[in-house]
Each structure stands twice: as C-alpha cells, then as structure tokens.
Amino acid sequence: MARGRLRVLLGAAPGVGKTYAMLEEGRRLRDEGRDVVVAVVETHGRAATAAMVDGLEVVPRRVVRHRGVELTEVDVDAVLARRPDVALVDELAHTNAPGLAHTKRWQDVDTLLDAGIDVLSTVNIQHIESLNDVVEKITGVVQRETIPDAVLRAADQIEVVDLAPQALRDRLAGGHVYPAERIDAALSNYFRLGNLTALRELALLWLADEVDAALRLYRTEHGIDSPWEARERVVVTLTGGPEGETLIRRGARIAARSAGGQLLAVHVTSQDGLRGAAPGALAHQRELVEQLGGTYHQVVGDDVPRALVEFATAVDATQLVIGVSRRGWLTTALSGPGIGATVTREAGKIDVHVVNHAAAGGRPRLPRIGGALTLRRRVAGFALAVVGGPLLTWVLVAARGEDTASTDVLAYQLLVVLVALVGGAWPAVYAAVLSGLTIDYFFVEPYRTVTVADPVQLLTLVLYVVIAVLVSVVVDRAARTTRAAHRAAAESELLATVAGGVLRGQDAVQALVDRAREAFGMTAARLVVDGTVLASDGDVPPGEPSSTVAVDERAVLELYGSDLAASERRLLNVIAVQLRAALEHSDLASVASAVDHLTESDRVRSALLSALSHDLRRPLSAATAAVGGLRTAGDRLSAADRAELLDTADESLRALATLMTDLLDVSRLDAGVLAFARAHVDVADVVVPALDELGLGPHEVELDLDLEVPPVVADPVLLQRVMVNLLANATRHAPPGTRVRVATSAFAGAVQIRVVDHGPGIPRERRDDVFVPFQRLGDTDNSTGLGLGLALSKGFVTGMSGTLTPEDTPGGGLTMVVALPAVAAPGGTGGTARTAEGAA
C-alpha cells in the first residue's frame, strides 16, 4: 500500500487563516470528487472558521477524561475505519491528552499516512523545534508544544499562509481572532507589529531554506552539476589580509544589484592550522559581512582553490569574488600560478571577479626559510652533528671492510635524520654536507683526500648530499607541522575556554586574566589600569614582572613567572586584543550611564525652573487675591461671596500643597533617594482605593480584573498614586457617555494593568512628551493639574522595576499600560508559560 501524502499549511502567527484555508481546500477537494473528512479542527470560537465546517463530514472526536476534565482528541481508529481519501487534521504540533497511544498529534498523522490516507494539516512557525528559542526571544512566550524539524521537512508539500502584520492586527482589532476582552492585551503583547514582522520573516526564510534544500536534492538526483541562477549568490573569499574589506564591499554591491541577492563570505583554513590569518582582521571582516546582511563561513582544506570552488558549487553560487594575489612576481615565477588563476580555471560556469586592491603584488623577495624549533633544539642539533659525526666515523673506520660501503652511507644517512629530528633543517643540512665530505675523505678512493678518482663515485656522493638535504628538509617540515598543529589546538582550546567563561556570566576582564595565567603556567597575572590593579589572579611575588604586554595606552597586563618565548607572544597579543575590547565595552557602558543620568538631571532641573517661574505663580496668586479680598472687603461681602472666596483660597492652597509634594518627589527621583517600600501587592487592593479617592463609580469606570493574576512586587502607596494619576487623566479625556476600562492580565512573568479610554488619543510622535514634567501638550487651563502626574507615575513605576507605556486603543483613544514584575510562584520563575493562542 502506497503511503499517503502530507500537505502542511504554515503560518507565522495565530489568526493568519491557516485553519480557514485548510477547510477551504477540503471543500474544493470534495467538490472535485475526493472523499474528505474532518478528523479534528480547532475553531477557537471564530464564526467564519466554524461556518466553513458546514457541509464537510466530521469524524467524532475521542473523549478522554483527565483529572476530572473531559478532553477531546483525534479518534485515529475511527478515521482508519472510515478510510477517506483525505483527512483534515488541525494543529499538527498539538500534545495529546495522557493515556492515548501517541503523545503528539503528528504521530497520529504518521499513522494515517502509513494507512495510505492523505493528510492536510496546519502548524505555526513558533512550534518548529529549531526556531523555538528564537521565537521565545522575540515574543517572550515559551512554546511548550513543538514539532521536530525532520517531521515537517518530510512533508510532501509545505505552503505558507501569509498575511501582512498590520492586516493581522486589523483582523484582531476587528474581533475576528479573539473575543473583545482579549483584544487589547493581545495587541500589546504577542501581536505587536515588530513581533509579527519578525515571525513572518522567520516563516518565509524557513520555507526559502526548505525550497533550496529541495532544489539541491533535485539537482543531485538528476546529476545536475551546473548552478541554477534562481537568485544571485555572491561568494567572497577572505584570506584575513587587508584586502578583505574591499572584497566584501564589492561583493555586497554585486549582490544588491539583483532582488533577493545573497552575500556569503568564506575563509579556508588548512587542516594543519599553519595557514593562519590574523584573528583580529577576520573577526572585523566577519562583523562587516553580518552588517551588510551576509553570512560568514569557514571551511577546512589544504587545497585552497579546490575548497573554494567546492564551497561555491555547494551553495549554488553565481558569482565568486577573489582578490589579486599579494605575491610578488618572483614568488609567482618560483611557485607557479596562484590561487586566483587556479580558481578561475576550475570555477566552470561560476563568474569570477578578480578585484584589485592596495596590497596586490608585493615586493620581489625570496621565500623566508626558517624552522619552527626553539634555539635550544637547534643548538642541540648542531652539537649532535659535531659530536656524532666524528664518533660515527671512528666506529665505521675501525670496522671497515670490502663490502661495507653501502652500510657506511646508510649510517651517515641515519645520522642526518636524527639531527633533523633534534635540531631541524639547518643542523641537518650541516650534518649532510659534513658527512658527505667525511665519506669522500675516509671511504672513497683515493683515501685521505677530497678528490674522487671515479666519476661514478662523484655522482653517488653528490646524490647522497642532495638526498640528505631533502630528507632533512622534509623531517624539519614535518616537525614544524606537528608543533604548529599542537600549538593551534592549544590556542583554540584556550580561546574557547575564555569565551565559555564569559558566556557563563563571568566578568570578561577577570576571565581573560585568569586564563592568561593558566595558559602560560605563570605564578600570577594582573591587569594594571592607570596604576591601579583592576583584576588579578594568583599571589603576586615581589619584584618586576617577567613579561608585560600593553593592552592600550593606559592598561598593562603583567605576568609573573618564567620568561615567555617569542612564539608565545602571538597568543598573548590575542588576549591583549580581547582585554582591550572588554575594557572599551566597560568604559562605554560607564560613560553611557553617566550621560543618561546627567541628561535626565538637566531635563528635570529645567522643568523645575519652568514650574517655579510659571506654575507656582497661578495658585499662589489666586490664594493671595482671595485672602486679600476677604481682608479688605470682608464686612461688605455677602455670605455667598465670602464662601466663594474661601473656596478659591482653599482650592488654590490645596493645589499648591499638591504641587509642592510632587516637586519634592520629582527632586527625590532625580537624586535617586526616593524610598520604595516593596511588598507583595494584589492589584485589586490598589485599584479600588484609587477609585474611591477620585470618587469614581460604575458609571465612569468599568473594571475587568483577572482574579487569577499573581500579586506584583511594588510599593502599594506609590502604586495607588500612579493609578490615581492615570485614572484622573483617562476620565478627564474620555468622551461623555463612555466609560474608562481598567483591565489586568499576566504575560511573560509580569502583570499588566491597562487603563483604557476612548478619547482623542495622543499622536505617536508626541507620546514621549507626556512624560516630561510640566507638559500637558498645550493644555494650560487651571483645572487640569500641573503636568507632573505622568512624569511622577513614570518615575514611580520605573523605580519599582516596571514600565509605563502608552498604546493606541482599538477604535480610537489611549491605553496606558503599567507592567510590574509578578511574584514568583513556588518553584517557578515568576510567571506561567503560555502558548501563543493563550498569550492574550
């Protein structure tokens, strides 16, 4: 029996229309004569979706009782007994109720596919296992229901049900996704415009990668090696040299010329780790690639041209950007064609751009010959040649016979190899030449001379010296390769350890100092900045440090212990670069914090001066005038006039007292000395007293308080003042006949209090102004307060580790959202995890 086909409709977020599209497709297949049944569909109360089920055969669900609750799941046995052509199964990532044969719904679907039944299903991007953590960072919602990528990629057909983010928000605001009481919280939490845009991009990119994989599989199955230019893919080759930035920018311009062009940068590392580039240069170039929207890749291969061409072919590259060789003409003549010429010859149909740059064509010079061994080992090699040569000669001369010539040559050859192993190339070359002369002098006729009677023996002697030199060079190169490989591995392990320590939350500067001491086996290490020890590890002995390296113009890394070899300085310089970056980051953070504080202080001081010169004068003048009128004409005034003047004086003095209290609070906030008495506060215990203080009743305010939200960590007195200010502003601007709504909800470890009005609202470009002291957006009448309410509310909420943000009210108006940290549940983290469907 042939396996059924799986078709999945992929959505970026709930409400884009996946279920509706699934039912619509089911009705179309039914009209074409296919046998279609609905195995399970989740309408979530949406009338339009429920209407699409009418006319389709629905297989009754299986009822499962769990902890006293009835749950309904797909009845797989009933669907198998019915044996339709097509089964509609909604929410592929759903977790089944306990006690069923399968834990996940996609396993039920797999059973239906094995029975030869085609399945049409739906899934959201947040449920894909590999994207789960990315979605959590974007939305703040932990997704408990996931589906393995392999299951989804095995589908025969995947389609994206796309809807523009703003269109989805309009659907949500219109009540087409969630009930009215959940709309506000959904719009400001999971369904923010930025969240939806990021989720949409994730869905489209995931499907694009799936299409690329399918295209590569098709080309592999059909033996198609040439690239298909479905879109421009520009590969830039990096060596770590100074030309890298020029190549990257040129590649980015080429990719930008075509819609959907993709930029990839690749660096080839040799298997032995000897062809190392400057790590700082590569790090900078990688950052530039990512800033330009490209991706960075690193491959391993000894044959650089072949590795580059193979990588470009594997990613379906259409353009390959390489730089002109930095080698001089003499090096090119001695070593043959360079990487650029070889890549151009082997690239096939991939266009190759050879870009000129400032570092092209270096000065003519011979390759530098040098060993990788220490001076001590080279001296030991020369000593072995000087001592071992005469000693071996004495032994061979004493044991010389008629047929020992070949043995003598092999013995000297063995000496050359041993010298090469101990001291490297130059001691071995010295030993080879010395042993050649010794063989000529002691073992080639005429003896005791450096002349050679037989030309064949001369040729043999020359060949011996050549072979000995070549062997010594090969042995030295092998030793250099092994040593460099061990060194590279040790350096990589050290850098990985440093990075791991920083990622685990260790202080970057301290972690780098600790690893520097450990890596070089030092007694102690410390970082001195401007004469002050910023970080240290180990007991610093008396005396001067054995090694120092300048981190920047004011910081020095000091190491105490044995002297460092020249070869170890390179890694020490890498650590110094990392230390410099860590110090710069710390300095920038300190400066930013200081600037922010000074800016805020200056703004508050300016506002205070404005208030003292303007807002204090009005209530003080009114009170003075009222008291003066009573004093001069009190006997001639009627009882009504006298009462009016007293009311004016009382109102003005109370306003003046309120203003002075607010000014003192603003000053305390600015100085950072306002005390916050944090406690566990039930939101309802703050909202109701605020309503009583303002004298507001059911005709002015509608309460929609969720009784299941946890308490918040806040100062109850200051939180009540916040609610009084917000409610006073909302009721002042609410149109006649409308009510202000106060709602609460829990989301991502925080509790949100929403004060919703349907007044004129505030333009987006002016929303920051409402939190500026003494700013009422041009409203200057004496009955609307003095412009400190929202500024204080913002300061109070921020001081309680919360946020106060304005949002649009669906249908017009302004919503002020107070978000405060929730009290952590026992054994939890302060908030319950919610799925996307329940995040609102």
Digit-coded pLDDT (tens) for 57-93: 999 988 888 777 788 889 999 999 999 999 999 999 8
CATH number 3.40.50.620 is the correct assignment for the domain at 233-355 = yes
174 in Cβ contact with 189 (< 8 Å): no
Mean pLDDT of 327-351: 66
Q: What pLDDT does residue 512 have?
A: 79
pLDDT at 359 > cutoff 70: no
- Reported as a pLDDT band with limits 50, 70 and 90, residue 331 is very low
pLDDT at 219 > cutoff 60: no
Q: What pLDDT does residue 487 have?
A: 62
Domain 679-821 classification at class level: alpha beta
The pLDDT mean for the chain works out to 76
Mean pLDDT of 384-390: 87
Q: What pLDDT does residue 504 have?
A: 46
Hey, which CATH number is domain 6-221, 3.40.50.300, 3.30.1360.180, 3.40.50.720, 3.40.1180.10? 3.40.50.300
**Burial label, 737 (beta-carbon count in 10 A; 0-12, 13-18, 19+):** exposed
- Reported as a pLDDT band with limits 50, 70 and 90, residue 834 is very low
Cα separation, 652 vs 710, in Å, equals 41
Q: Where does the chain hold its CATH 3.30.565.10 domain(s)?
A: 679-821
Residue type, 538: G
Digit-coded pLDDT (tens) for 116-131: 999 999 999 888 888 8
Q: Where does the chain hold its CATH 3.40.50.300 domain(s)?
A: 6-221
Cα separation, 319 vs 808, in Å, equals 48
Mean pLDDT of 34-58: 89
Digit-coded pLDDT (tens) for 136-146: 878 877 777 88
Q: Where does the chain hold its CATH 3.40.50.620 domain(s)?
A: 233-355
- Reported as a pLDDT band with limits 50, 70 and 90, residue 659 is low
pLDDT at 684 > cutoff 70: yes
pLDDT at 540 > cutoff 80: yes
Q: What pLDDT does residue 112 have?
A: 93
More confident residue, 497 or 563: 563
pLDDT at 598 > cutoff 90: no
* Nearby residues of 506 by Cβ (< 8 Å), 6 or more positions away: none
Q: What pLDDT does residue 327 have?
A: 56
- Kindly state the tokens that stand for 135: 């979605």
583-607 burial: b if 16+ Cβ within 10 Å, else e: beeeeeeeeeeeeeeeeeeeebeeb
Cα separation, 566 vs 559, in Å, equals 15
- Residue 737: what are its φ and ψ, rounded to 5°? 85, -5
* In the chain, % of residues over pLDDT 90: 9
Q: List the end-to-end C-alpha distance of the chain, in Å, as a whole number.
A: 45
Mean pLDDT of 454-473: 70
- The most confident of the ranges 359-373, 719-733, 791-805 is 719-733
**What is the SS3 assignment for 157?**
strand
Q: What pLDDT does residue 108 have?
A: 92
Whether omega for the bond prior to residue 810 falls within 30 degrees of 0, making it cis, is no
Q: What pLDDT does residue 786 have?
A: 44
Q: What pLDDT does residue 221 have?
A: 60
pLDDT at 800 > cutoff 90: no
Mean pLDDT of 604-608: 56
